Structure 1
Amino acid sequence: MPRADFYLIAKDRFRAQPLRLVCELARKAHDAGLWTLVLARDAAQAEQIDDLLWDMGDEVYIPHQIAGADIDEEEAAVLIAAPDVDAPLRPLVINLRDAAVEGSFERVLEVVPADPEARGPLRERWKQYQARGLDVNKHDM
């Protein structure tokens, strides 16, 4: 059964830089051998994630690419897609956009902002995933 995991930002380092949590989730997925698609909110966010993935420490290398014309699917274990790029879904999807992910995947990760005011759309998504029969879980990060 597909799963939806909601990660609530709690730790100070993730509050200061929420995209660090995204990179941490991508690293864990890569370590587990899961091909990952990150659905960025916009092109600027895609670039930020790309930069942060290069900056995970000397011991960490996560093969990643921004989706586009010159993509090497085999090399990019983590694919980062801006909304204007039609990237195929992968088994694991990290969703940073406002809408629930449609289509076929094994697991979707949703990052929940620390600000309670910004959580409305995520409550809606939780209900949508539940209604579609996904196993829905929450994790405090």
Structure 2
Amino acid sequence: MSRADFYLIAKPRFRENPLLLVCELARKAHEAGQPTLILARDAAQAEALDDLLWAFDENAYIPHQIAGADEDEDEAAVLIAAPGHDPPSRSLVINLRDGIAPGDYQRVLEVVPADESARGPLRQRWREYQARGFVLNKYDM
């Protein structure tokens, strides 16, 4: 049974930098031994995530890379994909794009910014996942 978890940003530290929440989710997945694909909104966001995954916690090491940068990307625990790359499927996807995550996966994490403009596309994605038979959960972060 596939599931979609929506993380609605509320805490000030995540409001200031929503990508921190993405790093926390990637760390939890890595600690659980779950290979993760992050679908970045654009190349700039992919680069920002790449940098932040090194820096956000000095005690955490999360092997990661940007899709298309290296041929051994299958070995990276966390693969960051900008639009235009067709990355291999992974069972866990963190989706930062407006549309629902493409591909084949068991679980998708949707990170939703605090601003109201992001909530319209969110409701649409919620309905689309629901129509696909996903189990839906919502968390306030």
Shorter chain as denominator, the TM-score bin is: over 0.9
Normalised TM-score (structure 1): 0.96
Query: Structure 2 length as normaliser, TM-score?
Result: 0.96
Q: Please tell me the residue identity of whatever aligns with 1:30.
A: H
Please tell me whether residue 129 in structure 1 is matched to residue 129 in structure 2.
yes
Partner of 1:24: 24
Q: Secondary structure at the residue paired with 1:108?
A: strand
Structure 2 equivalent of residue 60 of structure 1: 60
Aligned-residue Cα RMSD (Å) equals: 1.1
SS at match of 2:75: coil
Name the SS for the 1:83 alignment partner.
coil
Identity %: 72
Amino acid aligned to 1:139: Y
1:40-55 → structure 2 map (5 Å cutoff): 40-55=40-55
Looking at structure 2, the residues matched to 68 and 89 of structure 1 have their Cα atoms a distance apart, in angstroms, of 14
Cα gap change, 1:22/1:4 in structure 2, threshold over 3 Å: closer, same or farther?
same
* Contact preservation (8 Å) 1:65, 1:71: no
CA contact (8 A) 1:9 1:18 kept: yes
Residue by residue over 1:9-59, the C-alpha shift from the partner in whole angstroms, topping out at 9 and shown as x without a partner, is 010000000011111110111011100000000000000000000013221
Which string of whole-angstrom CA distances, capped at 9 and with x for unpartnered residues, describes residues 109-140 of structure 1? 00111012321001000000000000010011
Alpha-carbon distance, 1:88 to partner: 1.4
Paired residues in the alignment total 141
* Alpha-carbon distance in structure 2 between the residues aligned to 1:114 and 1:104: 28
Q: Are the aligned partners of 2:67 and 2:73 in contact in 1 as well (CA < 8 Å)?
A: no
Query: 1:31-42 maps to which residues of 2 (within 5 A)?
Result: 31-42=31-42
CA shift for structure 1 position 101? 1.4
**Structure 1's 13 and 69: CA in aligned 2 closer, same or farther, altered over 3 A?**
closer
- Which residue of 2 is the match for residue 92 of structure 1? 92
Over 3 Å counting, the alpha-carbon distance change for 1:115 and 1:53 in structure 2 is same
- After the TM superposition, which parts of structure 1 deviate over 4 Å for at least 4 consecutive aligned residues? none
Compute the displacement of 1:92 (Å). 0.3
Unaligned regions of 5+ residues in structure 2, if any? none
Following superposition, the deviation at residue 62 of structure 1 comes to 0.0
1:83-123 deviation per Cα after TM superposition (whole angstroms, max 9, x unaligned): 01110121000001111113320100001110123210010
Tell me whether 100-109 or 11-20 shows the greater mean CA deviation.
100-109
